[in-house]
Structure 1
Amino acid sequence: MMGTSTDILSRRKLLGAFAAVAMIPAAPHFAKAASYNKGAGNIRKVNLRNQRTGESLNTIYWIEGKYVEPALEEINYFMRDWRQNAVRNMDRRNVDLIAATHNLLQTDEPFLVLSGYRTARTNNMLRGRSRGVAKSSYHIKGMAADLRLGSRSVSQISKAGLACNAGGVGKYYRSNFVHLDCGPVRTWGG
Structure 2
Amino acid sequence: MNMTTTGISRRGLLTAFAATTVAAAPTFANAFGLLRGAGDIRRIRMYSGRTGESIDTIYWIEGEYIKDAIKEINHFMRDWRTDSVISIDVRNVDIMAAAHGLLDVDEPYMLLSGYRSPQTNAMLRSRSRGVAKNSLHMKGQAADLRLKSRSVGQMAKAAGACHAGGVGRYSKSNFVHMDCGPVRSWGA
TM range (shorter): 0.7 to 0.9
Measured against aligned partners, the alpha-carbon deviations of 1:141-164 in whole angstroms (never above 9, x if no partner) come to: 000000000000000000000000
User: Is 1:189–2:182 an aligned residue pair?
Assistant: no
Q: Distance in 2 between matches of 1:64 and 1:114?
A: 30
- C-alpha displacement at 1:172, in angstroms? 0.2
- 1:87–1:42 CA distance, 2 compared to 1 (3 A): same
- C-alpha displacement at 1:43, in angstroms? 1.2
Q: Distance in 2 between matches of 1:162 and 1:16?
A: 31
TM-score, length-scaled by structure 2: 0.85
Is contact 1:49–1:111 with CA below 8 Å preserved after alignment? yes
Measured against aligned partners, the alpha-carbon deviations of 1:156-181 in whole angstroms (never above 9, x if no partner) come to: 00000000000000000000000000
Q: Distance in 1 between matches of 2:7 and 2:66?
A: 13
- 1:142–1:160 CA distance, 2 compared to 1 (3 A): same
User: Is 1:83–2:81 an aligned residue pair?
Assistant: yes
Q: Percent identity?
A: 56
RMSD, aligned α-carbons: 2.6
Structure 2, unaligned runs of 5 or more: none
In the other structure, the counterpart of 2:102 is: 104
Q: Distance in 2 between matches of 1:44 and 1:16?
A: 16
In the other structure, the counterpart of 1:180 is: 178
Measured against aligned partners, the alpha-carbon deviations of 1:121-151 in whole angstroms (never above 9, x if no partner) come to: 0000000111000000000000000000000
Structure 1, unaligned runs of 5 or more: none
Is contact 2:39–2:62 with CA below 8 Å preserved after alignment? no
In the other structure, the counterpart of 2:134 is: 136
Q: Distance in 2 between matches of 1:51 and 1:82?
A: 11
Is contact 2:86–2:115 with CA below 8 Å preserved after alignment? yes
- Could you list the runs of 4 or more consecutive aligned residues of structure 1 that deviate by over 2 angstroms after TM superposition? 12-17, 30-42
